Structure 1
Amino acid sequence: MGSGMLETVRRKALQLWEQHDLLHEPIAVKARTLTVHEAIGDPEGDDFPLQKGKEQLMEAEFRGAKGQAFTDRFGDFSGTLADVAAMPLQNNFRRAVFVASLNAVMRGLGLCTATIHCRDKEPGECAPRFRDHIRERYGDVRITQVGFQPKIIKALSGAFDLKVLDLDPDNVGTVQHGAEILGPQQQEEALDRAELLVVTGSTLANDSIGDFLIDRPVIFYGTTVAGAAALMGWERFCAKAR
């Protein structure tokens, strides 16, 4: 799993932090693990991964700016940006600390926006806008969505030939919101069929993101990838995040 794309992101982040002379600055990352209600409110549906308790949101704060990362391993961290930059990224907890920190710092420097997850009805409002954005930019394309985001699946499956790639064994092999859910062993086939990939930013936190940066157009969605997308020039759509 993973291609070291996170290392590339880290190298670029380190250059930026050095350039702005930030390495001595403190950063705090809390997994006061936002309760589901704090993180996404009541999104009118109960099948968000965040509600099932499989992922939690960690939140970093830098100079008053906040950045988040979804992860399945969580805890608290405080130190300097130099500590974050030096930390081996070998598990999902450490990766989430780095990703949340990157998002908070990029936000604090004014280099990215929309780093705080949307809430309540907003996921449901974002999804149709995402669908329309894809239609305008790419026309009628075959899409493989990576990550189980129910509102987006529902909006896209009504408009495009859509299949979804997900790691959750509860979802794999089922049809959800009009789309077939494929598992990791079908990843190659799922990527081959796609003319466009719609990929969750959470792939950055588990360092599988490199698997999806292939010779296909990619649009990332969600807040986890906010800072990295801005740093790397990746396309991202997030209509309702703050």
Structure 2
Amino acid sequence: MTTQELYRRLRQELKRLVDTHRLNESSIELKSRGLSPEEAIGHTRRKDYPILAGREIMLQARFGDALGQAFTDAPSEFCGTLDDVLSLDTENDPHGRALLIATLNAVMRHTGDIDHTVHCKNDDLERCAEAYATRVREGFGTPRIALVGYQPALTSRLSQEFPLRVLDMNPQFVGSVKSGVTIEHGGESYRDAVLDWSELVLCTGSTLCNGTFVNFVDIGRPVVFFGISGAAAARVFSLPRFCPCSC
């Protein structure tokens, strides 16, 4: 699957939902905005989450009473209809891409196709990390894990129990040492860490927003997606997702 095919398929799914549920006949408008760090993840014990460093923002789409969220480094304020979203250039414009992802999460939440589309907050981030350690231990034993997307609580907890390599694209983190693990460049270390070394990949759904999501589909080893950005995409492509503390 290419990046173009990825966004085309997500747009097709949104169009299908609009037609199936006659959402284009509704007077409800889509509203989206960036959330402040406190609105997005609350007050956290750890202070090095990407959203706190200013690299990313949480884009939140509301459709009716349903919320859909997506992390992005291309924030965009928007108010319009679903037809407006379908007309966006999602293949070349990162703003349109983020809006599509958050919108599809909100609409599929509205139609009842998915849940867990709102990020956990406060101490739930630590509980999420503990739940992930349990999930990995019970489902995979003690695998070599490639964590794609630096997440402080997951990095700290998983590094205590499993062989772990962490990849990220944020230059603020690459090369730094977190919980005893050196953060590697997501592009430069992809082949070595993911394809050659890992036995399990835990991948952030935020890879949807920069198109690297396609690098973690059908790669010959188990991949589990975490976070709220990939809620709809995981359903559309029938991919495993574990996001235990989101709502």
What TM-score do you get using the length of structure 2 for normalisation?
Answer: 0.92
Aligned residue pair count = 240
Q: What residue is the counterpart of 1:49 in the other structure?
A: 50
TM-superposed deviation, 1:64: 1.1
113, 118, 121: which is aligned to 1:119? 121
- Alpha-carbon distance change, 29 to 206 in structure 1, aligned in 2, over 3 angstroms: farther
Q: What residue is the counterpart of 2:189 in the other structure?
A: 186
TM-superposed deviation, 1:130: 0.8
CA distance, structure 1, for counterparts of residue 14 and residue 142 of structure 2:
36
Q: Provide Cα deviations, 1:46-71, integer angstroms capped at 9, x if missing partner.
A: 10001011100111111211111111
- Alpha-carbon distance change, 23 to 105 in structure 1, aligned in 2, over 3 angstroms: same
Identity %: 36
TM-superposed deviation, 1:24: 4.5
Unaligned 5+ segments in structure 1 are none
CA distance, structure 2, for counterparts of residue 91 and residue 166 of structure 1:
22
Please report the RMSD computed on the Cα atoms of aligned residues, expressed in angstroms: 1.5
Q: What residue is the counterpart of 2:106 in the other structure?
A: 104
1:3 equivalenced with 2:3 (yes/no): yes
CA distance, structure 1, for counterparts of residue 107 and residue 87 of structure 2:
16
**Is contact 1:67–1:107 with CA below 8 Å preserved after alignment?**
yes
**Is contact 2:129–2:153 with CA below 8 Å preserved after alignment?**
yes
Runs of 4+ in structure 1 off by over 6 angstroms are: none
1:203 equivalenced with 2:207 (yes/no): yes
Higher relative contact order (CA 8 A, sep 6+): 1
Q: For residue 44 of structure 1, give the secondary structure of its aligned residue in structure 2.
A: coil
Q: For residue 224 of structure 1, give the secondary structure of its aligned residue in structure 2.
A: coil
- 1:119 maps to a residue whose letter is K
- 1:117 maps to a residue whose letter is H
Q: What residue is the counterpart of 1:75 in the other structure?
A: 76
Q: For residue 164 of structure 2, give the secondary structure of its aligned residue in structure 1.
A: strand
- 2:144 maps to a residue whose letter is R
- Alpha-carbon distance change, 35 to 166 in structure 1, aligned in 2, over 3 angstroms: same
CA distance, structure 2, for counterparts of residue 232 and residue 63 of structure 1:
25
Q: Provide Cα deviations, 1:182-236, integer angstroms capped at 9, x if missing partner.
A: 1121221111211111000100122210011122211000011111112221111
- 1:240 maps to a residue whose letter is C
201, 217, 237: which is aligned to 2:242? 237
Q: Provide Cα deviations, 1:28-50, integer angstroms capped at 9, x if missing partner.
A: 2322x211111111110110001
Q: What residue is the counterpart of 2:228 in the other structure?
A: 223
**Is contact 2:30–2:82 with CA below 8 Å preserved after alignment?**
no
**Is contact 1:29–1:58 with CA below 8 Å preserved after alignment?**
no
CA distance, structure 2, for counterparts of residue 171 and residue 67 of structure 1:
27
